[in-house]
Amino acid sequence: MNAPVIEHVGEVLVVRDDLVPGGTKARVLLDMLEPGREYVYASPAQGYAQVALAHAAATVGARATVFVAKRKEPHARTLEAGQAGAAIRQVGPVGYMSVVRARARAYCDATGATLLPFGFDTPSFLRGLAEVARSLPLEPPAEVWSVAGSGALTRALQMAWPLAGFRAIRIGAIPDAGRARLLLAPERFEQPARVRPPFPSCDNYDAKAWRFVSKYASPGALFWNVAA
């Protein structure tokens, strides 16, 4: 896969992984998934990791199974994951995330499928993300912005650029964001960003950083846009 595209948006450098099917995390999964194996992910309805897994599995010839809370109308990202080839298993009528995760674990115990953790947060995945960052054709940035769901991305970028300063936007539960300074998005997790960037960005995730990046980022700072 080609290196990420970087564009100037005002005085900020933006990694445009919204241009990649499945986004940044699909890049790393392509090197981690094994053809023919089944991989299972328990996803929030709005989560983008389900889309990343679906695209990566389809590319390498693996099987993706997504467990998600049952909704009257499936979320657009769940529909995209299904269209990309993932098997969607809706959990209901009461689909709390604890129940969704339990069903996913039980399925893997019964079938031998591989259960992937929230945010794909494993040491090998973090190393893969760090390698993607090091591949960028630029000098190590002094300041880096991203959104933190699990916190995996910002911790990987901290591995890649140990001298940089980091800002991460918290969008839900408190993440493991390493040494990044956390700022809290005003929207609830399930709400879309009220301030959108001038490029495609995942409205429940990356887009929520733009109100802060556009106001507080230093000239030359880098913002990592994971997905559309």
70: nearest Cα among 107, 48, 96:
96
Its CATH architecture, for the domain 6-20+121-225, is: 3-Layer(aba) Sandwich (3.40)
Phi then psi dihedrals of residue 184, to 5 deg: -95, 120
- pLDDT tens per residue, range 132-141: 999 999 999 9
136: nearest Cα among 7, 42, 33:
7
Residue 145 has pLDDT above 80, yes or no: yes
Whether domain 24-120 has CATH 3.40.50.1100: yes
Confidence of residue 206 (pLDDT cuts 50, 70, 90): very high
- pLDDT tens per residue, range 36-51: 999 999 999 999 999 9
Output the six-digit token pair for 161: 């650029």
Confidence of residue 95 (pLDDT cuts 50, 70, 90): confident
Residue 3 has pLDDT above 90, yes or no: no
Residue 108 has pLDDT above 90, yes or no: yes
pLDDT at 94: 72
The full set of domain ranges for the chain reads 6-20+121-225, 24-120
